[in-house]
Amino acid sequence: MSERKFSVWKGTPEGGKLHDYSIEVDKGMVVLDVVHEIQKLHDSNLAARWNCKAGKCGSCSVEINGKPKLGCMTRLNEYGEDETITIRPIKTFPIIKDLVTDVSWNYEQNKKIAPFKPRERDADGNHRFMQRDVDRVQEFRKCIECYLCQNVCHVLRDHEKKNKFVGPRFMLRLASLEMHPLDTENRIEDIKKEYGSGMCNITRCCTDVCPEHIQITDNAIIPLKERVVDEYYDPFMKLYNKIFKKSKLRIYIIKSYLVTLR
């Protein structure tokens, strides 16, 4: 056991300030443990959100020494022994009280997204697809909705373009729908116009903070941006596809080629 210094932001939507605490800490403690110690010993009305204490519910997102992190997965030994550990609420969403913020804006974004629309079932009434076709999408299913990525994304955080961009968490969800082998909905137009794929400048902070280590930028956002390019910025590819992919011309060319070979 040893004493450590902590500084925790307390306040309401009107304002607040940092409060200092000195806490007896033990080996292996995480930041959320400290919050609980403060509640138990010093300040029973310190508001904090948590649930699983196992990095799986995504409730305990805070900013620890300025970095967006899960309180329950951040061990104290990540910091120097004399360093004061400062805990603040996530910046991008409105304060309810102390460390608790109102993240309901995120739920609104989710509702905007056109839901999964599977193709017809096979003749025997089943839906079939291969594992390797959903490996990609499964990475995205690891998301625990902690909204740390939404919090750190500078488009929402600093530029406050919440009306123009749904944020990385929902680009991830869009990717998981768009890449699904069974899904038949086309969301590309909305991804560009409504959800704002162009607002993201791929600076990768969402990926850097994701506690599930999902490659949000590389595996979800950039592939979606490339799909938008197919649709809006690549006339040659479109023309090529029109002529060669869907038309009879292609079959004709291939057939006549085969004939000349013969």
Q: Rounded to 5 degrees, what angle do the CA atoms 192, 195, 196 make?
A: 55
Kindly state the smallest distance separating residue 187's Cβ from ligand SF4, in Å. Answer: 17
Kindly state the smallest distance separating residue 54's Cβ from ligand SF4, in Å. Answer: 14
Residue with tokens 């900013």: 63
Residue 223 binding partner per list ligand FES, another protein, ligand SF4, none, with a CB distance cut-off of 5 to 8 Å that depends on partner kind: another protein
Q: Is 43 exposed, middle or buried (0-12, 13-18, 19+ CB in 10 A)?
A: middle
Binding ligand SF4 by CB under 6 A: which of 25, 31, 62, 146? 146
Residue 33 or residue 63: which is nearer to another protein going by CB?
63
Cβ atoms within 10 A of the Cβ of 117, count? 13
Phi, psi (degrees; rounded to nearest 5) at 69: -155, 165
Kindly state the smallest distance separating residue 227's Cβ from ligand SF4, in Å. Answer: 16
Site map (CB under 8 A) of another protein, residues 1-40, x = contact: ----------------------------------------
* Contact flag: residue 234 with ligand SF4 (CB under 6 A): no
Site map (CB under 6 A) of ligand FES, residues 62-101, x = contact: --------xxx-----------------------------
Kindly state the smallest distance separating residue 121's Cβ from ligand FES, in Å. Answer: 37
* Contact flag: residue 113 with ligand SF4 (CB under 6 A): no
- Of the candidates 241, 238, 240, 204, the one whose C-alpha atom is nearest the C-alpha of residue 221 is 204
Residue 172 binding partner per list ligand FES, ligand SF4, another protein, none, with a CB distance cut-off of 5 to 8 Å that depends on partner kind: ligand SF4
The helix (H) or strand (E) run that includes residue 67 is: strand 67-70
Say how far apart CA 228 and CA 239 lie, in whole Å: 16
* Alpha-carbon 91 to chain mean position: 16
* Contact flag: residue 175 with ligand SF4 (CB under 6 A): no
Of residues 214-243, those binding another protein (CB under 8 A): 215, 218, 222-223, 225-230, 232-234
Say how far apart CA 28 and CA 247 lie, in whole Å: 64
Q: Is 29 exposed, middle or buried (0-12, 13-18, 19+ CB in 10 A)?
A: middle
* Contact flag: residue 78 with ligand SF4 (CB under 6 A): no
CA distances from 180 to 21, 70, 213, 216, 245 (A): 49, 29, 21, 16, 22
Residue 189 or residue 230: which is nearer to another protein going by CB?
230
Q: For binding to ligand SF4 (CB under 6 A), which residues are involved?
A: 58, 143-149, 152-155, 168-169, 172, 200-206, 209-212, 214, 216-217, 221
